[in-house]
């Protein structure tokens, strides 16, 4: 794929890695990240199993209790640490540079996020949606509001970590080695999709969910290349996960911070597949809004 003028800003993210573009550096970096994350999680899970009650540990593992899910989301900070170490050791680049210019990244994050918040408000005030059955109440509204700042912070760590890894470290390392966007956009998105392929939990919905994740990854790669920072992608990812984990979540797992629960499980093909089509449409709308925000 030839260079696209719209992707010119991507060069400010990629240029620092061009001095050391060898693939072995990326592979070694990913191994280092995996080792760091696994070691840190072993310590965390060991501490939980030793110090916490069996009930708390179960809620932490499944993310079905507020405090358990907060800790679980916060543990994605290990990924950020791993990426920072790998970038220093193997690409010899400053970890903060993976985000792009900090002030620009923050400005673009807010440009996109505030427009998405407007969309969220519009969706809330539109006529009620038929979810296939009545929603189930989860957290009491008062407690949900009290936890909201911590919930958003934890989600920011989780979504930021995923963007820093996939649209940051992996995408930028591949772009430093290969000029074709088919490589540096698609390969990280395939890895992202594989990470969301959960056949044991999602059953017959596992493949559509993974496909959704792969398309989402490509759109995040596109908006990152257009922006020249990770700010817009983190804003989009954060908004998406706020809806899915803080407003209405699936009851199977990661439901500890949501206001409502869907009346069916992740493996329910009859109901969930219809809403996956809506999710696909919403994903493209939010991506277009992000592009619009960057032009303002």
Beta strands per DSSP E along 126-282:
136-137, 248-249, 260-261
Q: In terms of DSSP H, where are the helices of 11-137?
A: 11-14, 23-51, 54-62, 66-74, 77-86, 102-125
Residue 63 · residue 253 · CB < 8 Å: yes
Instruction: For Cα atoms 247, 252, 255, give the angle at the middle one, nearest 5 degrees.
Output: 30
pTM of the complete model: 0.94
Q: Is the pLDDT of residue 180 over 90?
A: yes
- Give the position of tokens 């963007």: 163
Cβ neighbours of residue 277 closer than 8 Å, sequence gap 6 or more: none
Three-state DSSP state, 145: helix
By C-alpha distance, which of 205, 181, 179, 209 is closest to 193?
209
Residue 8 has what pLDDT?
Answer: 93
C-alpha to C-alpha distances, 168 to 26, 134, 142, 189, 238, nearest whole angstrom: 12, 40, 37, 12, 16
Average pLDDT, the chain: 92
Per-residue pLDDT tens over the stretch 239-254: 999 999 999 998 888 9
Per-residue pLDDT tens over the stretch 160-177: 999 999 999 999 999 999
Residue 3 has what pLDDT?
Answer: 55
């Amino acid at each position: 794929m030839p260079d696209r003028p719209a992707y010119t800003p991507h060069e400010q993210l990629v240029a620092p890695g061009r001095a050391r573009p060898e693939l072995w550096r990326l592979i070694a970096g990913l191994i280092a990240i995996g080792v760091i994350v696994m070691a840190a999680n072993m310590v965390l899970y060991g501490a939980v199993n030793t110090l916490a009650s069996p009930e708390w540990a179960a809620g932490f593992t499944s993310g079905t209790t507020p405090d358990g899910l907060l800790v679980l989301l916060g543990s994605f900070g290990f990924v950020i640490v791993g990426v920072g170490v790998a970038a220093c050791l193997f690409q010899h680049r400053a970890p903060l540079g993976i985000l792009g210019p900090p002030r620009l990244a923050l400005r673009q994050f807010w440009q996109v996020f505030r427009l998405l918040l407007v969309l969220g408000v519009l969706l809330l005030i539109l006529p009620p949606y038929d979810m296939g059955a009545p929603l189930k109440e989860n957290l009491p509204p008062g407690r949900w509001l009290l936890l909201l700042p911590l919930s958003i912070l934890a989600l920011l760590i989780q979504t930021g970590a995923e963007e820093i890894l996939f649209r940051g470290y992996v995408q930028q390392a591949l772009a430093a080695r290969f000029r074709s966007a088919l490589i540096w956009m698609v390969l990280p998105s395939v890895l992202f999709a594989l990470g969301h392929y959960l056949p044991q939990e999602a059953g017959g919905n596992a493949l559509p969910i993974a496909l959704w994740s792969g398309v989402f990854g490509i759109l995040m790669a596109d908006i990152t290349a257009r922006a020249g920072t990770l700010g817009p992608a983190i804003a989009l990812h954060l908004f998406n996960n706020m809806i899915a984990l803080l407003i209405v979540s699936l009851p199977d797992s990661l439901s500890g911070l949501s206001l409502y629960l869907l009346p069916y499980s992740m493996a329910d093909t009859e109901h969930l597949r219809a809403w996956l089509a809506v999710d696909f449409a919403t994903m493209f709308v939010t991506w277009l809004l992000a592009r619009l925000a960057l032009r303002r």
